[in-house]
Amino acid sequence: MVSDRHPKSAATPHATRVTRRWPLISGLAALVLTVLLGYLVMLRGGAGSAGAGSLAIDRAWLIWIDQFRGPILDMPALVLNYLGAGLTASLLIPALIVGALLVARRYWAAGYFFAATVLTGAAVQALKQLFERTRPQDILVTVDFGSFPSGHVANAAVMAMIFALLFPRFWVWALGAAYTLAMMLSRTYLEAHWLSDTIGALLLGSGIAVLVWTPLAAKLDGERRLPRGQH
């Protein structure tokens, strides 16, 4: 028998009735679109060639955004580059978020965040190896191997979607969307990625966040509603 203090028992009827079908379909659709986009850009140029797989919109976007380069926008772009790279993105920020959720006794939420972010990071690296897409030529920052998809944007997208699902408030959605959009713009502004790299990463991070959330929806909702200490 489920205790009346169990997170799932405190979930709303809507959260309890979340079916596997529509979240599963939408999450899988996002992942399929990511892979199809990767194959499209690879077929258009071929792995390993200069500007490999760059679409017309990719080239046009870089030409358009180049006109805005200057000291005023360089700083925020470089700050976002730092936040989304290396140990800061892969260890420090996730550890702080998981730690905060554990302190708040949001144990299911902490596990959800950890699982979704780890899966996203692994998927990014797998797709980079699969498609081997060459980055734009005039990169303004230090980057690793593979252009598709953008690890910075995938990381931003999965975090934004996780927080939107954990804390369903308009301002959380708005901040998450703004942060993800800013990261997408900064990656192309710095010519670290093609525009299609960032779109693929947006689909990837969002899709994984939804897929991992689906079987946990009732527990996460109930945990949010229970008074602290009764999880």
pLDDT digits (tens, 9 = 90+) for 1-25: 334 455 555 445 555 455 557 888 8
Mean pLDDT in residue range 172-181: 97
Output the average pLDDT for the chain. Answer: 86
Q: Say how far apart CA 134 and CA 137 lie, in whole Å.
A: 9
Share of the chain above pLDDT 70, in %: 85
- Report which secondary-structure segment, H or E, holds 81: helix 71-83
Under 8 Å between Cβ of 202 and 180: yes
Using the predicted structure, report yes or no on whether residue 150 has a pLDDT greater than 90: yes
Under 8 Å between Cβ of 148 and 199: no
Ranges of each domain in the chain: 19-225
Better-scored residue on pLDDT, 189 or 42: 189
Under 8 Å between Cβ of 164 and 211: no
Q: Say how far apart CA 13 and CA 147 lie, in whole Å.
A: 43
Using the predicted structure, report yes or no on whether residue 169 has a pLDDT greater than 70: yes
Using the predicted structure, report yes or no on whether residue 47 has a pLDDT greater than 80: no
Mean pLDDT in residue range 114-122: 96
How far from chain centre, in Å, is Cα 129?
18
Under 8 Å between Cβ of 229 and 180: no
Instruction: Report the Cα–Cα distance between both ends of the chain, in Å, rounded.
Output: 16
Annotate 37-75 with b (16+ C-beta within 10 A) or e (fewer). bbeebbeebeeeeebbbbbeebeebbeebeeeeeeeeee
> Position 24: which residue type?
L
DSSP string, 91-105: IIHHHHHHHHHHHTT
Q: Say how far apart CA 75 and CA 188 lie, in whole Å.
A: 14
